[in-house]
Amino acid sequence: MKNRTLGKSGLQVSAIGFGCMGLSHGYGPATDKQEAIKLIRKSFDLGVTFFDTAEAYGPFQNEEIVGEALAPFRDQVVIATKFGIRLENGKQVQDSRPAQIRQSVEGSLKRLKTDYIDLYYQHRVDPHTPIEEVADTIKDIVKEGKIRHWGLSEAGVQTIRRAHAVHPVTAIESEYSLWWRKPEKELMPALEELGIGFIPFSPLGKGFLTGTISKDAHFEKNDFRNIVPRFTAENLAANQILIDLLNKIATEKQATPAQIALAWILAQKPWIVPIPGTTKLHRLEENLGAAHLELTHEELNGINKALDEIKITGERYPEELEKRTGL
């Protein structure tokens, strides 16, 4: 597995990371704990050194799984987790008050079985706590040695600039894929200017870009995709044209649609590290194979030209969740 450096921070990670959320949160029933631990450890054996989790996943269960899985080789991996979302009466609330951040850090350290967090993200911007106050708190916790790097998830460019001015931001995590390219407009140019790494989550379009989800797809009742507009039968059918494109390119490259989708992301910038998630070993191996798949300049131009002619239908989030992004 090749390594990449996140911006100008010096933090090196595997070119493809492992998004651990789906092992216990968001996509139907949780994976058996021992099976999840086995999969995480297998990913390390295959060269993955970058693992992404959050206190909100579960909540808490995901961090516990990641901590137990990585404990035998903690000093050889980079663990990213997140603060800033807590449950209140069963509902998620954005809360990045300094006292809440400190409480979250201590909880994450305990669950992750570690005395430091490599990369600590604000999960969503708290509209009631100035980002400068958040950054000041993080700066103090970095000095204490409990955090080594920090970042923000789904934050707007102006918020990122304000945060970076107080304490250097190492990475931004946001959705980015062949069917969600909004970060190309403002976010990615700003990250390049500031020397900040980019961590795309859902790089396979929440599974759609694997080519295995048809318009007749049915998801488990607690699967997040049931409330995502882009996953209605009508929109899945309309967006199949993108899968047709991926299948064509995959056949030509003797690869899979998922590998093409990941290789395309990797080809955009050397400081981008996608974090696909999976619960299956064969999918893990397939995803990691994308790190060795080279798309030529001509092939990338061809893909981008074809993408410009494809209109993706359906929003990526319900309106309520989209309002929490880009602040």
- Whole-number Cα distances in Å, 252 to 26, 73, 295, 300, 305: 34, 39, 11, 13, 17
Contact 211, 243 (CB under 8 A): yes
Give the three-state DSSP class for 23: helix
Annotated catalytic residue: which of 57, 120, 121, 317?
A: 57
**317 catalytic, yes or no?**
no
- Bridging pattern class, strands 3-5 and 12-14: antiparallel
Joined tokens for residue 157: 């460019």
Contact 211, 257 (CB under 8 A): yes
Which stretches within the chain are classed as H helix? 33-45, 61-70, 98-111, 131-143, 157-166, 187-194, 233-238, 240-253, 257-268, 281-289, 297-308, 319-322
State the Cα–Cα distance between residues 25 and 43, nearest whole angstrom: 19
Residues 6+ apart with CB under 8 A from 236: 208, 213, 214, 215, 217, 230
Which residue type, as a one-letter code, is found at position 41?
Answer: R
State the Cα–Cα distance between residues 149 and 90, nearest whole angstrom: 30
Contact 112, 99 (CB under 8 A): no
Contact 29, 222 (CB under 8 A): yes
Rg value, the chain, Cα:
19
Active-site positions?
57
